């Protein structure tokens, strides 16, 4: 969890920052979804091959290639299905962040009519604004 404090001169500058962050996450999501589709194809091919080998009586007896530490999982030479699973988790996380940022943006639209001089300090947690401090000047 990363926390960052940023300051803005006015609300429009802050809203532009939120919009830019949303655009960047949407771009990343699009790239990941394209890659996800490629991995789905490979994963399906892998499943078909394993099924065919199973019908032939050939079982796959490979040692586990995953090591789980306290906070991270290491996969050595992952299969397409393992890669797919990891990428799906990343896509879910980005999609969740986009949803959060969109919700924050909608909630803050009510302040867009605020036409007073105000410095804005924003506390971000994992790239999502969590606390906004308005300092009227």
Residue 63: what pLDDT? 55
First to last CA, the chain: 32
Residue 31: what pLDDT? 96
Read out DSSP for 47-108?
A: HHHHHHHHHTT--------EEE-SS-EEESS--HHHHHHHHHHHHHHHHHHHHHHHHHHHHH
Place of tokens 């604004």: 129
Q: Quick one: DSSP state of residue 9?
A: S
CA pair distance 99, 125, nearest whole angstrom: 15
pLDDT along the chain (137 residues), means of 10: 89 91 96 94 87 74 75 86 90 95 90 75 93 85
Residue 110: what pLDDT? 81
CA pair distance 75, 93, nearest whole angstrom: 19
Cα–Cα distances (Å) from 97 to 80, 91, 103, in that order, read: 26, 10, 10
CB of 3 within 8 A of CB of 121? no
Note the pTM of the prediction, 2 decimals. Answer: 0.76
Q: Where are the domains of the chain?
A: 3-55+64-136
């Amino acid at each position: 969890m990363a926390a960052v404090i940023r300051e803005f001169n006015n609300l429009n500058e802050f809203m532009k920052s939120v919009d830019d962050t949303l655009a960047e996450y949407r771009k990343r999501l699009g790239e990941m979804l394209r890659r996800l589709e490629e991995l789905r194809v490979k994963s399906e091919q892998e499943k078909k091959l394993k099924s065919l080998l199973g019908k032939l009586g050939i079982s796959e007896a490979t040692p586990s290639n995953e090591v789980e530490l306290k906070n991270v999982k290491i996969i050595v030479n992952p299969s397409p299905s393992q890669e797919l699973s990891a990428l799906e988790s990343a896509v879910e996380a980005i999609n969740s962040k986009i949803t959060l940022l969109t919700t924050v943006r909608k909630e803050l639209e009510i302040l867009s009519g605020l036409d007073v001089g105000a410095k804005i300090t924003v506390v971000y947690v994992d790239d999502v604004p969590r606390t906004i401090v308005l300092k009227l000047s």
